[in-house]
Amino acid sequence: TGSRRKRARARHKPCALKELEVSVSELGLGYESDETVLFRYCSGTCEAAVRSYDLSLKSMRSRRKIKKEKVRARPCCRPLAYDDDVSFLDAYNRYYTVNELSAKECGCV
Amino acid sequence: TGSRRKRARARHKPCALKELEVSVSELGLGYESDETVLFRYCSGTCEAAVRSYDLSLKSMRSRRKIKKEKVRARPCCRPLAYDDDVSFLDAYNRYYTVNELSAKECGCV
């Protein structure tokens, strides 16, 4: 049906930068503050970014040449750079600065 | 027992560059050749590399502020750079060059 196709399409969008306006409390970092911040994050798939490295790593794993190791044989949609630090006053008038909170640029790594 | 602890330790090694000497055929890229190549890959965990970004992304997902999207809320142990191209003669005396095959440097991205 249309909605299932729409949901499927949502799952297969290429890796890209997206943004949400949220309150500092909603960041889930333990701060209490109604101040709002722009939270930018990386979302989407990296299907087009598969390299020979990924194919060979998968092959080594399936041939048990690599065993019981934590390896990632697919690219990750992740930040390549982060926005500047974010500062805010919490509900108790204390000043905080958080770094590497919001993504500036995304890529398939 | 010792071996279980040893296996557990193997699983929790920090992200690092490792290497294997393999034949081109074992790369699983469809080439047939007995020539050997050095295959370097990234293996290990990124537990120490968690940023505010990851904590907030997890929080947004669990609060359903981000739904039905492919996001990665943990760093990936992946190549930051790749070795130079690899060239070889296959079993039929044809010459091939493969790029982005072997990792040169690893990191938690």
pLDDT in tens, A54-84: 999 999 999 999 998 999 999 999 999 999 9
Q: How confident is the model at residue B5 (pLDDT cuts 50, 70, 90)?
A: confident
pLDDT score at B52: 97
Closest Cα of chain B to A56: distance in Å?
5
Tokens describing residue B67 = 């739904």
Question: Mean pLDDT, chain A, as a whole number?
Answer: 92
Residue position matching structure tokens 């120490």: B48
Residue position matching structure tokens 């809320």: B73
Interface of B with A in 23-42 (CB under 8 A): 26-29, 39, 41-42
Q: What's the sign of the alpha-carbon dihedral B73, B12, B44, B33?
A: negative
Tokens describing residue B77 = 């142990």
Beta partners for residue A18, in sequence order: A41
Closest Cα of chain A to B11: distance in Å?
6
pTM for this one?
0.88
Q: How confident is the model at residue B12 (pLDDT cuts 50, 70, 90)?
A: confident
pLDDT score at A4: 74
* Phi, psi dihedral angles at A98 (to 5 degrees): -120, 130
Residue A107, Cβ neighbours under 10 Å: how many?
17
Least confident of A49-53, A83-87, B5-9: B5-9
Cβ–Cβ under 8 Å, residues B23 and B35: yes
Cβ–Cβ under 8 Å, residues B37 and B22: yes
Cβ-nearest to A52 among B10, B78, B100: B100
Closest Cα of chain B to A60: distance in Å?
7
The Cα A27–Cα A12 span in angstroms is 26
Cβ–Cβ under 8 Å, residues A73 and A49: no
> What is the per-residue pLDDT across B38-81, written as a single tens digit (0 to 9) for each?
999 999 999 988 999 999 999 999 999 999 899 999 999 999 99
Q: How confident is the model at residue A3 (pLDDT cuts 50, 70, 90)?
A: confident
pLDDT score at A12: 80
